[in-house]
Amino acid sequence: MALADSVTTFLSETKGKGMLAVKNIKNGDIIMQEKPLVCCQFSWNAAYKYLACDHCLRSLETTEENVRRLTGNPNISLPYPECCPTVIESHTKCNSCGIQYCSKECQELAWKQYHMTLCVGSCGENPSHPLNMLNETWKQMHYPPETTSIMLLARIIATVRQAEDKSMAMNTFMQFCHRTENEEEEIAHKLLGEQFSSQLEILRELMGNALYSDDVHHWLTPQGFRSLFALVGTNGQGVASSPLSQWVNNVANLNLSADQRSTVDSFIDQLYSDIEAVSGAFLDAEGSALYLLQSSCNHDCEPNAEQTFPLGDSCLVLKAKRDISQGEEVCVSYLDECALSRSRHSRQKILRENYLFTCRCTKCLSQADNESETSSDDDDAIDEDE
């Protein structure tokens, strides 16, 4: 998990952490690659049978199983089955609770880091188990589309509890921004507003019932729990895995004749149309993760880099979206493509409520004097999404 030799991190009074190019980077270059400190599938995503490794989020479905489920058509057969990325023979599960993993390696890593604490054993289907109560309560408070999971917080706590050097583990997580509000700009995180105070208290009590220990007691106080929530709220990176997208990429790399390429491209286009008609945009196994190095990247509404997951798991690959000059800050977007296309006013609203800052990137500053960009009809759409 080391930075590439093309970038370095920095600290500033105005932005805090940041990432800087120390040499020229070309469009499409890999800037860095990083595995997460902790990763977790979204609760509703798992409930809807998007099967994924409980540790790295790699899909556990074959491509054919995946498209049959997403289209509702059990008779679909895919050409070029050798392009399926799923290796079922390597799959395994926890003998106590039945949690599934893509490999023995992931199972062992999870056990050593947090699963020893979180394993519910034979109580996996028991709704009265404290961890099951915590997860189900969260699901009733936080419906799709999901942005984080209460179980990501549980994994952070369990990681500290299981660490040999608990102080070092705690300090690692505290390196992330965990402010509940930006006092200078009088901004508070939207998840921590008064309207959610009763929900937070319920979740805090359930988390304490499930995972209290003296090592993490300060995270289970009212203020400490708010701080932990702010940590994942402002730093959580969305992760998505799909055997279909990997199969499509693998097929694209095949040496096919023009007729074969035309046939398979038409098949893929129709496949995506069929999936959209049944499952909409919910194609992937989705979750949230924390990346220590990637979290150094600041936001820009016209980013020069982007987060990708080409390996089909939670390993993040940061790639250049355009040429980046030596001395230029490396920035990503904290907003999805849909939000980026909205007005400056709408972008600012999302960033203030979720990340506690007012964006002053070149795009926002250039639009600041444009009256049509200071208010927007799509605010209603944002409120509905929230």
C-alpha span between 279 and 134 (Å, rounded): 28
Q: What is the pLDDT of residues 232-269, one digit of tens each?
A: 988 999 999 999 999 999 999 999 999 999 999 999 99
pLDDT of residue 178: 59
Q: What is the pLDDT of residue 285?
A: 94
Q: Which amino acid is at 184?
A: E
* pLDDT value at residue 192: 55
Tell the burial category of 375 from Cβ atoms under 10 Å away from its Cβ (0-12, 13-18, 19+). Answer: exposed
Tokens linked to 4:
């590439």
Kindly report each contact of residues 217-224 with a partner whose C-beta sits within 8 Å and lies 24 or more positions away, as own/partner.
Answer: 219/157, 223/180
pLDDT of residue 35: 96
Q: Which residues of the chain have pLDDT under 50?
A: 1, 181-189, 373-377, 380-386
pTM: 0.88
Q: CA 47, CA 131: separation in Å to the nearest integer? A: 15
Structure-token match 């998007």, residue found: 50
Q: Dump pLDDT digits (tens) for 47-58.
A: 998 999 999 999
Handedness of CA 156, 223, 168, 12 (dihedral sign): positive
Q: Measured between alpha carbons, how far is 269 from 274 in angstroms, rounded to an integer?
A: 9
